[in-house]
């Protein structure tokens, strides 16, 4: 089992990506919008409510910038059950439309030696028909068992947990069937639904998608910092540190860190950190 290190720095073939109003509504439902109060987030969960224009949760940007389909490049020869989403960031250049079409170009930017595994990082840009960027996304996946090749371990960032209580805390429950709902937005990885596949990855049961946890976290940031206005939400980044089981509650702790920037961390019921080193910017 090996990674194909020759892919680093090579841009993939541009891929067409589109979504519909139904897709963005289904995504919002998949990350918990409307679950506690069906009337609270109608601009994200409906398209025909009187006096309410449909809007899109900012974290859908990550899906909009994904190059999906059979043209996606193979990273190497390894068991996909040993692959985990490690980190995710995006920048919104303008608010996302409820339905849209873009062209996505992705580049593998690094393969880093983390000892027990390898971190593979990517950068993707989604541009609209007028040639203007809509989303720039950066991601990383961790491949267990692919480290130890003597490569660059990567650079640690300067993120530091503030030595004070958070300025805001927001908690959301997830549903026991949350992963089954979220997977309808396109991520059909059996790690999140198939017990036998999850066991191959070392889990007692299927786990929640990291990007579902990311979407719950983004909702908390949007409603707390931006008055629920996606046009005020600009960037978000974080690292996935532990898996979440469907049905667990998520608490997002937020520290204001200067004008228009916050640090955040997401934990489960028992205090386990599941998204760490979070940074978001807004206006």
The Cα 155–Cα 253 span in angstroms is: 25
Judge contact between 253 and 223, C-beta under 8 A. no
Q: How does strand 261-268 pair with strand 273-282?
A: antiparallel
**How many domains are there within the chain?**
1
What are 182-238's pLDDT values in tens digits? 999 999 989 999 999 999 888 999 999 999 999 999 999 999 999 999 999 999 999
**Residue 259 designated active-site:** no
Are the beta carbons of 31 and 218 closer than 8 angstroms?
yes
Which CATH number characterizes residue 14's domain?
3.10.129.10
Which among 138, 192, 194, 270 is annotated as catalytic?
A: 192
pLDDT tens readout for residues 233-264: 999 999 999 999 999 999 999 999 989 999 99
Whole-prediction pTM: 0.92
Domain boundaries, position 176: 2-282
What's the mean pLDDT in 158-169?
94
Cα 33 versus chain centre, distance: 16
C-alpha separations of 80 from 25, 71, 280 in Å: 29, 17, 30
Within a 10 A sphere around the Cβ of 10, how many other Cβ atoms?
9
* 192 annotated active-site: yes
Instruction: List the single range of 11-25, 35-49, 145-159, 266-280 with lowest mean pLDDT.
Output: 145-159
**Furthest CA-CA distance within the chain:** 60
pLDDT of residue 70: 39
Of 187, 223, 234, 270, the catalytic one is 187
């Amino acid at each position: 089992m090996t990674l194909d290190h020759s892919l680093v720095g090579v841009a993939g073939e541009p891929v067409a990506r589109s979504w519909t109003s139904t897709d963005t509504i289904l995504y919002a439902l998949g990350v918990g919008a409307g679950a506690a109060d069906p009337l609270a987030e109608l601009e994200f969960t409906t398209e025909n409510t009187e006096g309410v224009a449909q809007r899109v949760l900012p974290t859908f940007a990550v899906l909009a910038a994904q190059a999906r389909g059979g043209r996606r490049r193979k990273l190497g020869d390894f068991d996909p059950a040993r692959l985990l989403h490690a980190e995710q960031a995006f920048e919104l250049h303008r608010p996302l439309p409820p339905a849209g079409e873009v062209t996505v170009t992705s580049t593998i930017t690094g393969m880093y030696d983390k000892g027990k595994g390898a971190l593979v990082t990517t950068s993707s840009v989604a541009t609209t028909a007028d040639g203007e960027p809509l989303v720039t996304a950066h991601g990383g996946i961790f491949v267990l068992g692919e480290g130890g090749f003597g490569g660059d371990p990567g650079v640690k960032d300067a993120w530091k947990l503030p030595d004070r209580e958070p300025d805001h805390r927001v908690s959301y429950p997830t549903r026991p069937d949350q992963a089954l709902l979220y997977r309808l937005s396109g991520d059909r990885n059996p790690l999140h639904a198939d017990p036998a596949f999850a066991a191959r990855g070392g889990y007692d049961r299927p786990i929640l998608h990291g990007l579902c946890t990311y979407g719950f976290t983004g909702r908390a940031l949007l409603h707390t910092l931006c008055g629920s206005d996606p046009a005020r939400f600009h960037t978000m980044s974080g690292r996935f540190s532990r898996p979440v089981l469907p049905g667990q509650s998520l608490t997002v702790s937020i520290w204001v860190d200067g004008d228009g920037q916050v640090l955040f961390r997401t934990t489960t019921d028992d205090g386990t950190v599941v998204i760490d080193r979070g940074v978001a910017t807004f206006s």
